[in-house]
Amino acid sequence: MSEHSANPSSATAATGRSRAVKAVIPAAGLATRFLPATKAVPKELLPVVDRPVLQYIVEEATQAGIGDVLLITGRGKTSMVDHFDRRPDLEARLEAKGDTERLAAVRGPSELAEIYTCRQPEQLGLGHAVGYAESHVGDQPFAVLLGDEFVKPAEPLLPAMLELQARTGGVVLAFFEVDPAETKRYGIASVEPAEAELTDIGEVVRVTGMVEKPTPEDAPSNLAVLGRYVLPSSIFDAIRRTKPGSGGEIQLTDAMELLRGEGTPVHAIVYRGTRYDTGMPLGYLQTVVQIAAERDDLGTEFRTWLAEFVKTDASGVTGT
């Protein structure tokens, strides 16, 4: 656990609110962008070097002091849950061989957090998926971590978001800047400066409006909603009152905008760290290359090979 979980900040103590302690990971999607790879394998289990994407995400929650994780799953995706279970047969074999390193790697995921699951029987949108967390979450604020993106562990975002939410209440989001031509892929927000002080990972802003997947002409800015949210439990009622929006789906962005319009404060951190997006083939490849290049065990060799590879064209001729 990080230092953030051990000591509530003085600001938290001053407001009397406590940090969210549960996380919800919506992971029931069909991952059509990755077919046919995702026909039988959930996209959340695609490996980034030797760990599935979902393990990085659960580790991100754990490192922020969250020990209770609800996975929202769907048909054909139960192998995601198996990844966080024990494997006594495999463990016994590795133990007998004295392979302590692999034994630790196999046990690791099962020791990260308490993993709970629930099923979203139909994929009717991100807001609809989050709505299934209501009975698990109860009346406390909670974090939502989308199942196909994560941030660089050395540049953590979630602890600052949890602290900010405990201080301000309401909704806390994170934004990253996108090319104005790309707004159609994200929730986009308009903002104004906030009184809250700077965090060490980005400026804090107050949100004055949000729209899901606007065209560049309609986008209020180029600040895109990153897949990390800290939400009050009032979001569940707002989701129930949210009509299908972009793509005919019940959008979380629309439910948050409903709350904002009714007076719930919405703050965000404009994240300046590194975000990995594994939801599409190109972003997935970039993620694998970056993580591999930074690994202590194989980074040096991989970088040397990669540098050589990019110098060499497809016909095998070494360029200048």
H or E stretch at 5: helix 3-6
Nearer to ligand G1P among residue 94 and residue 130 (C-beta): 130
Least distance in angstroms from the C-beta of 187 to ligand G1P: 3
Q: How far is the CB of 175 from ligand G1P (least distance, A)?
A: 9
Applying the rule CB under 6 A, the residues between 112 and 151 that interact with ligand G1P are 126, 146, 149
- Based on CB atoms, which residue is closest to ligand G1P, 225 or 230? 225
Residue 318 DSSP code = B
Binding to ligand G1P in span 56-115, by CB under 6 A: none
In angstroms, what is the minimal distance from the CB of 59 to ligand G1P? 19
By the 8 A CB rule, do 16 and 61 touch?
Answer: no
Give whichever of 204 and 226 is closer to ligand G1P, judged by the CB atom.
226
In the complex, the smallest distance separating the C-beta of residue 126 from ligand G1P, rounded to whole angstroms, is: 5
- Region binding ligand G1P by CB under 6 A among candidate stretches 5-13, 98-106, 224-232, 235-243: 224-232
x/- site string to ligand G1P, residues 227 to 266, per CB under 6 A?
x-----------------------xxx-------------
CB of residue 100 vs ligand G1P: minimum separation in angstroms?
A: 38
Taking the complex as a whole, how short is the minimal distance between the CB of residue 212 and ligand G1P, in angstroms?
Answer: 6
β-strand 149-151 against 275-277: which pairing, if any? antiparallel
Between residue 158 and residue 217, which ones bind ligand G1P under the rule CB under 6 A? 186-187, 212
What ranges make up the beta strands (E) of the chain?
Answer: 22-26, 47-48, 51-52, 68-73, 114-119, 142-145, 149-151, 171-177, 187-193, 202-212, 223-231, 266-271, 275-277
CB nearer to ligand G1P: pick between 166 and 189: 189
Token pair for 117: 């699951």
In degrees, rounded to 5, the angle at the alpha carbon of residue 176 between the alpha carbons of residues 170 and 177 is 130
Amino acid at 286: Q
CA distance readout (Å), 274 to 286, 287, 294, 309: 12, 10, 13, 24
Q: Report yes or no: 27 and 270 within 8 Å, Cβ to Cβ.
A: no
DSSP string of 72-100, one letter each residue: EE-TT-THHHHTTS--HHHHHHHHHHT-H
Task: CB nearer to ligand G1P: give 222 or 253.
Answer: 253
Q: Which is nearer to ligand G1P, 166 or 270 (CB)?
A: 270
- Give the CA angle between residues 234, 73, 164 to the nearest 5°: 40
**Smallest distance from ligand G1P to CB 38, Å:** 14
Q: Which is nearer to ligand G1P, 31 or 201 (CB)?
A: 31
Q: Which position's Cβ is nearest ligand G1P?
A: 187
Out of 4, 279, 284, 292, point to the residue binding ligand G1P (CB under 6 A): 279
Task: Return the DSSP state at 244.
Answer: P
Choose, by CB under 6 A, the member of 129, 172, 205, 224 that binds ligand G1P: 224
Q: Are strands 171-177 and 223-231 parallel, antiparallel or unpaired?
A: antiparallel
Q: How far apart, in Å, are the Cα atoms of 313 and each of 19, 317, 319?
A: 52, 6, 7
Tell me which amino acid residue 291 is.
I
- Which burial class, exposed, middle or buried, applies to 219 when counting CB atoms under 10 A from its CB (0-12, 13-18, 19+)? buried
> Please, which residue, 43 or 83, has the CB nearer to ligand G1P?
43
Summarize as ranges the residues that interact with ligand G1P (CB under 6 A).
126, 146, 149, 186-187, 212, 224-225, 227, 251-253, 279
